[in-house]
């Protein structure tokens, strides 16, 4: 067994196990931590495939931002998870029925679909191109040429998200003290400091 295969089985089994623990764990904080573990191991799988850019993005975006956001929400909101599970027994039959229908549909689809034998023979194939480009270079080449349109559209969508967040949440609150750096910098010694003679045993008016 080569080292790559050994690492594949290591990462894959930890991903599956921690994926299971995400839903099995009783403590929501532990669930999120297992989710992070699953993400990190999935990133390891990407590295094995030669998709180092995806691996780093997975760590930065999902572990660094999304999972931490989950963690914050779970810790800051006082969600009673025991209460949320109250209806579990009640909804179980319906849920199981829908789940079974989807399972049958998926099996039918998979049954009607054969995997290309070329793919089966190279399960750990390297996705990097023959030109020896790094992932980031290969992505950069298409993202600013063939996919420039999509890239710009995605930018507009983010702009809408930003405007939307401001429109719906920003409120003018009267009486809030704000730092005004220009005024601070423009202060001279004469404006800030006052020198007074203090007569003995009398003090001064402040």
Partner 1 sequence: MTTVHSVLPSLAPLLPELILGVGVLLLILYGAWRGDRSAETVSIGALALLLVALSVVISQPVHGRITTLSGAFVSDSFSKVMKSLVLLGSAATILLAHDFFKRERIDRFEFPVLIVLCTIGMMVMVSANDLIALYLGLELQSLAAYVIAAFHRDDIKSTEAGLKYFVLGALSSGMLLYGASLIYGFTGTVSFPGIVSALNANAGLGIVLGIVFVAAGVCFKMSAVPFHMWTPDVYEGSPTPVTAFFATAPKMAAVSMTVRVFIGALPDVTAVWQQIFIFVSVVSMALGSFAAIGQSSIKRLMAYSSIANIGYALIGLACGSEEGISGLVTYMIIYLAMTLGSFAIILSLRRRNVMFEKIEDLSGLSRTHPWLAFCLAAMMFSLAGIPPLAGFFAKFYVFAAAIKAGLVTLAVIGVVTSVVGAYYYLRVVRIMYFDEPKEPYEAMAPGLRVVLALSSVVVVLFFLLPGPLVGAAGRAARSLF
Positions that interact with partner 1 (CB under 8 A): 105, 108-109, 112-113, 141, 145-150, 152-154, 156-157, 159-161, 163-164, 166-168
User: What sections of 112-206 are H helices per DSSP?
Assistant: 117-121, 135-143, 148-169, 181-186, 189-192
Residue 62 CB, nearest distance to partner 1 (Å)? 18
Residue 19 CB, nearest distance to partner 1 (Å)? 20
Residue 132 CB, nearest distance to partner 1 (Å)? 12
Nearest-10 crossing angle of helices 28-48, 68-76: 180
Whose Cβ is closer to partner 1: residue 174's or residue 199's? Answer: 174
Residue 186 CB, nearest distance to partner 1 (Å)? 23
Maximal C-alpha separation, the chain: 101
Residue with tokens 């999935």: 42
Between CA 135 and CA 56 the distance in angstroms is 11
Residue 22 CB, nearest distance to partner 1 (Å)? 20
Whose Cβ is closer to partner 1: residue 24's or residue 163's? Answer: 163
Asked if 2 contacts 30 with a C-beta cutoff of 8 angstroms, the reply is no
In degrees and rounded to multiples of 5, residue 81 shows phi and psi of -70, -25
Six token digits for residue 80: 């009673």
Q: Which helix (H) or strand (E) holds 195?
A: none
Whose Cβ is closer to partner 1: residue 24's or residue 110's? Answer: 110
Whose Cβ is closer to partner 1: residue 75's or residue 164's? Answer: 164
Whose Cβ is closer to partner 1: residue 77's or residue 156's? Answer: 156
Residue 148 CB, nearest distance to partner 1 (Å)? 7
Whose Cβ is closer to partner 1: residue 30's or residue 159's? Answer: 159
Asked if 120 contacts 37 with a C-beta cutoff of 8 angstroms, the reply is no
């Amino acid at each position: 067994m080569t080292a790559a295969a050994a690492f594949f089985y290591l990462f894959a089994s930890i991903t599956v196990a921690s994926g299971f623990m995400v839903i099995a764990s009783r403590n929501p904080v532990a669930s999120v931590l297992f989710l992070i573990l699953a993400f990190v191991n999935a990133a390891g799988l990407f590295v094995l495939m030669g998709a180092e850019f995806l691996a780093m993005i997975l760590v930065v975006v999902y572990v660094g931002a999304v999972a931490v956001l989950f963690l914050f929400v779970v810790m800051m909101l006082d969600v009673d998870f025991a209460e949320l599970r109250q209806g579990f027994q009640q909804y179980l039959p319906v849920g199981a029925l829908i789940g079974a229908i989807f399972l049958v549909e998926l099996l039918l689809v998979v049954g009607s679909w054969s995997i290309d034998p070329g793919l089966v023979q190279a399960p750990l194939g390297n996705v990097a191109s023959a030109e020896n480009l790094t992932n980031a270079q290969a992505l950069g080449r298409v993202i600013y040429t063939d996919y420039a349109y999509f890239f710009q559209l995605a930018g507009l969508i983010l702009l809408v998200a930003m405007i939307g967040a401001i429109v719906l949440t920003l409120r003018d609150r009267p009486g809030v003290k704000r730092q005004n750096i220009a005024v601070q910098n423009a202060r001279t010694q004469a404006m800030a400091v006052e020198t007074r003679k203090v007569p003995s045993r009398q003090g001064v008016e402040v």
